[in-house]
Amino acid sequence: MSIAAPLRSKLITPTTLVLLALAAVGFYFLLERFLYGLGAVANINQGYPWGIWVVFDVIIGTAIGCGGFAMALLVYVFNRGDYHPLMRPALLSGLFGYTLGAVAVMFDLGRYWHVYNLLLPWHAQPNSVMYEVALCVMAYVVVLWMEFSPAFLEGRAAGGFRRFVDRWMWAIVALGVLLPTMHQSSLGSMLLVMGYKLSPLWFTLWLPALFVISALMMGYGIVMFEATVVSRSFGLPSHRALISKLSVVVGLITVAWLALRWGDLYARHVLAFACVVSVRVVMFWIENALFLAAALIFIVPAWRAGRRASFLGAVALLAGGSLYRLDAYLIGYTPVTHWSYFPSVPELMVTIGMIALEVLLYLVFIKTLPVLHGRPARR
């Protein structure tokens, strides 16, 4: 049995330098955004008040960050302790996905200096889905840091905070499973108010369920993706047996998701919309093809056993889930006719910078903190 240990490899490598450079470019444009305003850098407009910052950094970013949620559900709720080696890396990716997602919301808020009002109960509008998302994501960021805190605390003197975390970890973990179900489904509920502005291929009263289940799938997808990438990059054991076992479950969830989606499309008599040729319909088919490919790879034993195939399955899952969100929030969404949106270069660079920063911080953390299992325990 192995225990988690820091990798202790060099922090400054060509990879980290490139990531640092990308993050720096992103920060340059962010500086511009905060000095000259949203209009100076972003292509968002009156018709498309949210752009790639919200959709990628927040909607997709937090779904990718659901690794912690997905694994906590598996390890603690279904009591599958054997998956524990995958827990901390999953939490770590969730940590950055969510923290940076919460920070990225601030870029997109026109009057970000008012954001503290969210926390003042007398200004609260508890019927608002966005309010629920905001508070819930904030709370979950705190919960994630607490869940992850043992990585900082291990090997240190037992202080008051550590005692608190040890005593209440069960409650923190419970919150860590509860909160994402709340806000990931709310991200779907948010689109319910859009009504006819959203294409019937995406608009359904099942949006909250589709969003929360696909977030779970993406959570497992990122866990598998990370495990493979990290093990190959740093020459660590790949936990392939664990992942193979996990992928059956994920495949079944994906099939269930597809069944729900297509059953709903059929029940609403809107399948005809999927037969028109347009950008959004092509995206719709790509999205579903990705999910179907992932489901097939994970369920057919021969494909599941292949390293490359199962890695591709995880990628398909992540790409499908991301595209689903991108479609629902931007491509399948027509706020007003005759308006268009495509992200500007600065907008893209900010998002790329944020992703680079996430990967960079992930690398720094696994090198300095006990996150990854693999090295035999040194006793």
- Contacts with another protein, residue ranges (CB under 8 A): 1-2, 43, 45-48, 82, 85, 231-232, 235-242, 244-245, 305, 307-308, 311-312, 315, 338-345, 347-349, 352, 374
Q: State which residue, 152 or 234, has the beta carbon closest to another protein.
A: 234
Dist CA 282 CA 286 (whole Å): 6
- Between 16 and 344, whose beta carbon lies closer to another protein? 344
CB of 251 to another protein, least distance (A): 16
- Our CB check for another protein shows the closer of 183 and 325 to be 325
Minimum distance of another protein from residue 242's CB (angstroms): 5
Q: Which is nearer to another protein, 172 or 294 (CB)?
A: 294
Nearest-approach distance from CB 82 to another protein, in angstroms: 8
Closer residue to another protein in complex, CB, 352/361: 352
> Least distance from C-beta 207 to another protein, angstroms?
25
Task: Give ∠ CA 7-9-12 in degrees, rounded to 5.
Answer: 135
Q: In angstroms, what is the minimal distance from the CB of 45 to another protein?
A: 5
Shortest Å, Cβ 147 to another protein:
22
Residue 69, classified by CB atoms within 10 Å of its CB into exposed (0-12), middle (13-18) or buried (19+), is: buried
Q: Which is nearer to another protein, 27 or 152 (CB)?
A: 27
Q: Which long-range contacts (CB under 8 A, 24 or more apart) does 50-53 make?
A: 50/108, 50/329, 50/330, 51/108, 51/330, 51/341, 51/343, 51/347, 52/330, 52/343, 52/347, 52/348, 52/351, 53/104, 53/107, 53/108, 53/347, 53/350, 53/351
Q: By C-beta, is 1 or 157 nearer to another protein?
A: 1
Q: How many CB atoms lie within 10 A of CB 243?
A: 24
Q: Tell me the closest approach of the beta carbon of residue 37 to another protein, in angstroms.
A: 13
The contacts found for 309-316 with CB under 8 angstroms, 24 or more apart, are 310/224, 310/228, 310/243, 310/244, 310/247, 311/224, 311/225, 311/228, 313/224, 313/247, 313/251, 314/221, 314/222, 314/224, 314/225, 314/228, 315/221, 315/225, 316/290, 316/291
How far apart CA 69 and CA 82 sit, in angstroms, is: 17
Nearer to another protein, 1 or 120 (CB): 1
Exposure string of 167-186, with b = 16+ CB inside 10 Å and e = fewer, is: eebeebbebbbebbbbbbbb
